[in-house]
Amino acid sequence: MKSKELRQFIFRTSLWTAIGLAGTAFGAEKVDIESALSEAKDKAEEALKENPDEVKDSFPYSLNEVSDKIVTIECKSNRNGRSAGSGFIGKMDGKTYVFTNQHVLLGADEISIFTINGDRILPSKIELSVRRDIARLELRPDDSHEGFEISSTPAMGIPLAVFGNSEGGGVATALYGKVKSVTSDLLEVTAEFVSGNSGSPVLNENQEVMGIASYVRFSTPEATDDEEKEPKRKARRFCYRLTNVDWMPVNWSRYNGEYGKEYRETEALVDSIFDVVYGWGDEPFGYVPSEHKDYDLQKWAKNHNNMVDRIKRLSDKGSATRKELNNINKQIQGDIGDSAEALAAFCDRKSRNVAMKLTKNNLTGFLHDEFEGYVESLQWATREINDFGEHLSEIEYFRFSN
């Protein structure tokens, strides 16, 4: 589960801290931004934790009692390797389906579905929710698996259980909590589900499914006047409801071929770009990660690291006249500016390519929103990298020591 807001926040903090640090003498102590932010997030989440054990102890049934309805979904992609998610068997409209999230399935070349008990499930067809990140796979007529009923009215404050496949380890886990808020298509819950739980059923005490565990969102950090204090963020967990859903049948291999693979590749690309700029923001003169699936990004990273090597060789020179130092600074400023410009142009190109997908009218609402999010992330990265490059290219990297 990704968080565009968290990526942007960490990136911006890293960049602007780096700009501040870049003006100091070479070799000054660096601040580990990411781990400080991560620690702050952990502290904030800890403060807001309810005690899930209270719910667990009083919950009228356990995972074992419904294990025949919980499934793990293993996906294999030739390009992106393996991933895993969760799902469940449920009844809807008089039929029985496996329910999961669309994002669990998209991009997979092979999908395997097993109940926790080890039964293999072979669905006959796939339908996607027009607006929500939900997929349902109809069980074959000869499949005798029973499914959960779907609850139509989840109430705030009621206890719940999330049974699924935490962290993609293939081992089912049980998480407990309460319904925090409800909208027409979402539940917010306190159960602390994580990646791998995508697709897990959110169950009430009557063994009815209220929703499907779908994503985690991090709230905007609270403003603080104290510069020493880390901004507080908290994780909020959302599940799509399964009532009032519009479904569209899809030819899965065609749909997945047209959109699924690009979805995964774009997701990986955006992650790679942010990894690069985190690294660059953290250490303006350090190396950036250079192994990337995208050939152009890999090429840029290698060129950038070669530039870093040149700067390091220059600093090994030891001494220089004022004129020589000015020339060296100008060269570095030019190189840094060019590198930022090249990366920004790359991000801009990619955002335009992804934006082309938004014009397709058979895209589900979920996928449309995801691509739109990637376009925004890439456009945001373009602007930030341009700004960062402009500022770095105005800084004198070498000064005379007094």
Partner 1 sequence: MKRHTTLSILLAITAYTVLAEPTHLDIMVPDLQDTDLKGPVKSVSLKVSRNVNGEWTTEKSEYDRTGNLTCYTEFDAKDKLIEKSEYFYDENGCYTKLRYRNEEDDYESEWDVTLSPDTLQIALREKSDGRIGLETYSPEGYLINYRLVTKDREPILTREYQRDEKNRRVKYTRIKGRKPEYTFYYKWAENGLIDMQGQVYHQEKAQFRHTYEYLVIDEHGNWTQRILVRYDISGKKPVKVYEHTVKRDIEYFAPDAEEAATATSDDTSESEEAPAEEDSGEA
User: Hey, which residues does 136 pair with through a beta bridge?
Assistant: 99, 127
Nearest to 95 by CA among 141, 126, 134: 141
> Which is closer to partner 1, CB of 48 or CB of 122?
48
Alpha carbon of residue 363 to chain centroid: 20
> Which is closer to partner 1, CB of 28 or CB of 48?
48
Contact (Cβ atoms closer than 8 angstroms) between residue 289 and residue 276: yes
Structure token pair of residue 184: 């027409």
Among 58, 62, 117, 181, which residue sits at the site for partner 1 (rule: CB under 8 A)?
181
Among 186, 194, 345, 355, which residue sits at the site for partner 1 (rule: CB under 8 A)?
186
Element containing residue 339 per DSSP (H, E):
helix 322-357
Which residues between 222 and 261 bind partner 1 (CB under 8 A)?
236, 238
Among 52, 87, 147, 154, which residue sits at the site for partner 1 (rule: CB under 8 A)?
154
d(CA 119, CA 71): 9
Nearest to 255 by CA among 375, 83, 126: 126
d(CA 135, CA 100): 5
Least CB distance to partner 1 at residue 75 (A) = 29
Map residues 75-94 to x or -, x wherever contact with partner 1 holds by CB under 8 A.
--------------------
Structure token pair of residue 351: 């955002």
Binding segment for partner 1 among 114-122, 147-155, 224-232, 385-393 (CB under 8 A)? 147-155
Least CB distance to partner 1 at residue 218 (A) = 11
Among 78, 144, 184, 361, which residue sits at the site for partner 1 (rule: CB under 8 A)?
184
> Which is closer to partner 1, CB of 147 or CB of 159?
159
> Which is closer to partner 1, CB of 124 or CB of 181?
181
Among 219, 251, 326, 353, which residue sits at the site for partner 1 (rule: CB under 8 A)?
219
Least CB distance to partner 1 at residue 319 (A) = 58
Binding segment for partner 1 among 184-192, 280-288, 294-302, 368-376 (CB under 8 A)? 184-192
The count of chain residues that interact with partner 1, using the rule CB under 8 A, is 13
d(CA 319, CA 43): 47
Binding segment for partner 1 among 94-102, 107-115, 132-140, 182-190 (CB under 8 A)? 182-190
Among 119, 188, 283, 341, which residue sits at the site for partner 1 (rule: CB under 8 A)?
188
d(CA 17, CA 33): 8
Least CB distance to partner 1 at residue 154 (A) = 7
By CB under 8 A, tell whether 155 contacts partner 1.
Answer: yes
Q: How does DSSP assign 72-103, residue by residue?
A: EEEEEETTTEEEEEEEEEEEETTEEEEEE-HH
List CB contacts of 123: < 8 A, sequence separation 6 or more: 97, 98, 113, 137, 138, 139, 140
> Which is closer to partner 1, CB of 4 or CB of 125?
4
d(CA 16, CA 281): 8
Site residues (vs partner 1, CB under 8 A): 153-156, 181-184, 186, 188, 219, 236, 238
